[in-house]
Amino acid sequence: MLVKQLSVFMENRPGRLFKLTNALGKEGIDFVTLSIADTKDFGIVRFIARDNEKAYEVLKREGFTVGQTELIGVEVDDKPNALASVIGILDEHNINIEYLYSFVLTNHNSAKILMRIENTEEAIKVLENEGIKLLSEKIL
């Protein structure tokens, strides 16, 4: 029901992102998503790999600080207002989204939305009641 995401602490200076992507690339690990939030000095790189467990091991070994976070994933039609309708549901129940990113896979006519929500359980309940399709790791 939930999608596992890896989070890596990264300093905001040249060469750091290369070190991370290269470490995974050499091991043949493919990214499904990748998102970076940054400030002046540091950021958090958040991503989902085809093989999250292996990616986790590789980065640990390479000396990165890696955390795992569970996200709620939903699939919506790739058309206007689709995202708004999902967010509207959460809004009605006063559920706050900490961060969110979306992506589209080729050969799919839908968009995938990944959300980090503090009260995950409640959000799942609310979305399922409204008939929203939740993603699991497999579907990615």
Partner 1 sequence: MFSPEIETIDRKQLREMQLERLKHIVAYAYDNVEMYKRRFDEIGLKPSHIRTLKDVALIPYTTKDDLRDNYPFRLFAVPMKKIIRLHASSGTTGKPVVCGYTRNDLDNWSTCIARVLSMAGATDEDIIQVSFGYGLFTGGFGLHYGIEKLGATVVPVSSGNTERQIMLMKDFGVTALVATPSYAMYLAETARKMGVIDDLKLRLAITGAEASTPEMHESLKQIFHVFPTENYGLTEVGGPGVAGECREKAGMHINEDMYYPEIVNIEENKVLGEGEQGELLLTTLTKEGMPILRYRTKDITSLTYEPCKCGRTLARMSRIVGRTDDMLIIRGVNVFPSQIESVLMGMGELGKSYEIIVDRVNYMDTIEVRVEVLDANLLTDYSKLEELVARIKHNLRVVLQIDVKVKLVEPFSIKRAEGKVKRVTDLRKK
Stretch that binds partner 1, among 37-45, 79-87, 107-115, 119-127 (CB under 8 A): 37-45
Stretch that binds partner 1, among 58-66, 82-90, 104-112, 124-132 (CB under 8 A): 58-66
- 64 interacts with partner 1 by CB under 8 A: yes
Q: How far is the CB of 10 from partner 1 (least distance, A)?
A: 7
φ, ψ dihedrals at 26, nearest 5°: -60, -30
Angle between helices 82-92 and 120-129 (to 10 degrees): 120
Between 68 and 129, CB nearer to partner 1: 68
- 99 interacts with partner 1 by CB under 8 A: yes
Between 93 and 116, CB nearer to partner 1: 116
Using an 8 Å Cβ cutoff, are 113 and 3 in contact?
no
How many whole angstroms separate alpha carbon 50 and alpha carbon 30? 5
Amino acid at 119: N
Number of residues that bind partner 1 (CB under 8 A): 21
- 69 interacts with partner 1 by CB under 8 A: yes
Name which of 132, 120, 128 is nearest 72 in CA terms.
120
Q: How far is the CB of 80 from partner 1 (least distance, A)?
A: 30
Q: CA geometry: angle at 16 spanning 40 and 50, to 5°?
A: 115
- 134 interacts with partner 1 by CB under 8 A: no
How many whole angstroms separate alpha carbon 45 and alpha carbon 38? 8
Binding site for partner 1 (CB under 8 A): 7-11, 16, 37, 39, 41-42, 44, 63-69, 98-99, 116
